[in-house]
Amino acid sequence: QSANEFRSQKDSLTQQLQDSESRNQVLEAQLSDLEQRLESIQLEREAFHKSLRSLLELLDSKLFELNELRDTLAKLIEGS
């Protein structure tokens, strides 16, 4: 091969390498963005579940109180 052919091949490879590395940077940015979104979604989900669990505990205490009220009514009816 002549020196010209080598130069031409070298230039073409250099261009391909630049394109590939540039594509790499785009992909790494997208990946980092997705990872942040995923993490943020997980944090939201945990906060949401924590709120739901608090609400479930509150519901439990209200149901307990309604059951006590039910027993009071039952005793009132029985006893009168």
Q: Contact residues for a second copy (CB under 8 A)?
A: 1, 3, 6-7, 9-10, 13-14, 16-17, 20-21, 23-24, 27-28, 30-31, 34-35, 37-38, 41, 44-45, 48-49, 51-53, 55-56, 58-60, 62-63, 65-67, 69-70, 72-74, 76-77, 80
- Burial class (CB within 10 angstroms; exposed 0-12, middle 13-18, buried 19+) of 43: exposed
Tell me the closest approach of the beta carbon of residue 48 to a second copy, in angstroms: 5
What is the DSSP secondary-structure string of 19-46? HHHHHHHHHHHHHHHHHHHHHHHHHHHH
